[in-house]
Amino acid sequence: MRSTRYIESAMTSLLPPSIASCFGRRSTRGVWSPQKLSRQFALTRRDFLRTSAGLALGSTLFGARAFADSPIRKRKAVVITFGGGARDQETFAPEGQENIPHLMHELIPQSAFFTQVVNRGILGHYVATASLATGVYETINNFASLPPEHPTVFEYFRKDLKRPSADAWVVAPSNGFNRIGESSHRSYGPGLGAGVILPKHLLTAAISGRRNDYAHLLRDNYETPLYAPELGGSEFELMQMERILKLSVDDFKAHARTLSSPDELSVYVVRQLMRQVAPSLLWITMHDIDVAHAGAYSLYIEGIRRTDRLCAEVWKTIQSEPEYAGKTTLFILPDFGRDSDDDSGGNGFQHHRTGDALSRTTWMMALGAGVRQGVIFDRATESTDLVPTIGSMLDFSASFAQGKPIQELL
């Protein structure tokens, strides 16, 4: 059991001095529950965004009906996980805003922003992303090549709406994500899921052994460098690269050489996929930030800044591609946060081991078709609410999900 003192310390280290001192005084009166801490994180984000980005408080507002002007069959949703996890003091706190200029000045003013999205599940990247994709807190081994146990958003979408396999895709960071496209659930599963593109796997196949030229793009996992599972399931083959992405192996290799990180490679593949296939449901898992596990703060910050820029690039592509413009809702949310500086059970930004309130209290922004712009909602939601929300927007039922549709987006 974690000491309350550590939780208070984590809280106060996050806050501006004036608010921190307030917490300091109040902390002498009793225990801060995780729920109360999450609420306080949310209020701090809310106040900061209201003053810095000019957003209005939307707790009493409800948006226009989603996709009011778009026929159901043309609606699209794109999800970006802002990963693997950044803390407020490097993002939304006043001292962090310089790291996310694109979110602050371009995306947030156009978004409905939810300040309190709590993840009550396991804080490992694969299992947490699987939980986001199923709407259930999955308990599968984070480091095993296993499918989620509950139906994924891709399966609900394809089965309910009778969509072909080309209409749902995942672009994921490491080999460990190769099974995320479809679950082991007996009512769904094989043949009903999303295609999964693993850009690093694709690049490995394309360069056939010349790894040194691309080493900066190929690191598979920041947490356990020795982990590189054998691939099975629906991973993308080189042949498909040419047939679906319309990229020659040589073009792909040449372009990859110009890129600085794995997430850059993912977004390059995403753009190509949007132009050539235009899937209606597209899931992009970012992972550069997780380089923090190496312990270099500067690389962690660089990862946040790059992710900020890449999110804006995906949004620009959505707005400029005729298949997406005006009929797409973009969701951006982290899989989870990272540990506080003052928790003796962790090592600050480097890991996400303590399971404290800071590492569990995340956020989400939604923008695009049907979403009211420039409003903040600070009531508590959960990571598992994402899939039922997308279901309500795109008109399919997430029958086995634990979460609930976010009413402010419907």
Contacts with Zn ion, residue ranges (CB under 5 A):
84, 223, 290
Least Å distance between CB 166 and Zn ion?
31
Q: Which is nearer to Zn ion, 223 or 385 (CB)?
A: 223
Phi first, then psi, for residue 162 (nearest 5°) are 55, 50
- Closest residue by beta carbon to Zn ion: 290
Least Å distance between CB 178 and Zn ion?
18
Q: Which is nearer to Zn ion, 223 or 382 (CB)?
A: 223
Q: In sequence order, which residues have a C-beta less than 8 Å from that of residue 1 and are 6 or more positions away?
A: none
Rounded CA Rg of the chain: 20
What does the alpha-carbon distance between residue 35 and residue 87 come to, in Å, rounded to a whole number?
18
- For residue 333, list its beta bridge partners: 81
The two counts, helices (H) then strands (E), for the chain are 14, 10
Q: Which is nearer to Zn ion, 84 or 262 (CB)?
A: 84
Q: Which is nearer to Zn ion, 223 or 263 (CB)?
A: 223
Q: Which is nearer to Zn ion, 290 or 378 (CB)?
A: 290
Q: Which is nearer to Zn ion, 108 or 292 (CB)?
A: 292
C-beta of residue 338 within 8 angstroms of C-beta of residue 86: yes
Least Å distance between CB 335 and Zn ion?
9
Q: Using the CB atoms, write b or e for 352-385: b if 16+ within 10 Å.
A: bebbbbbbbbbbbbbbbbbbbebbbbbebbbbbb
Q: Which is nearer to Zn ion, 128 or 202 (CB)?
A: 128
What does the alpha-carbon distance between residue 99 and residue 302 come to, in Å, rounded to a whole number?
8
Least Å distance between CB 143 and Zn ion?
12
| Residue 264: exposure state from Cβ atoms within 10 A (0-12, 13-18, ≥19) | buried
Cα–Cα distances (Å) from 125 to 79, 110, 167, 205, 253, in that order, read 16, 28, 25, 24, 28
Least Å distance between CB 291 and Zn ion?
9
Least Å distance between CB 222 and Zn ion?
6
Least Å distance between CB 94 and Zn ion?
26
C-beta of residue 201 within 8 angstroms of C-beta of residue 236: yes
Least Å distance between CB 262 and Zn ion?
14
Q: Which is nearer to Zn ion, 350 or 373 (CB)?
A: 350
Pairing of strands 328-333, 76-81: parallel
Question: CB neighbours (10 Å) of residue 95?
Answer: 11
Least Å distance between CB 351 and Zn ion?
7
Q: What token pair was written down for 109?
A: 């003013």
Q: Which is nearer to Zn ion, 39 or 293 (CB)?
A: 293
Q: Which is nearer to Zn ion, 32 or 222 (CB)?
A: 222
Q: Provide the 3-class DSSP secondary structure of residue 130.
A: helix
C-beta of residue 54 within 8 angstroms of C-beta of residue 109: yes
Percentages (nearest 5) of helix, strand, coil residues in the chain = 45, 10, 45
Least Å distance between CB 123 and Zn ion?
8
Cα–Cα distances (Å) from 324 to 93, 111, 158, 160, 369, in that order, read 32, 17, 18, 21, 10
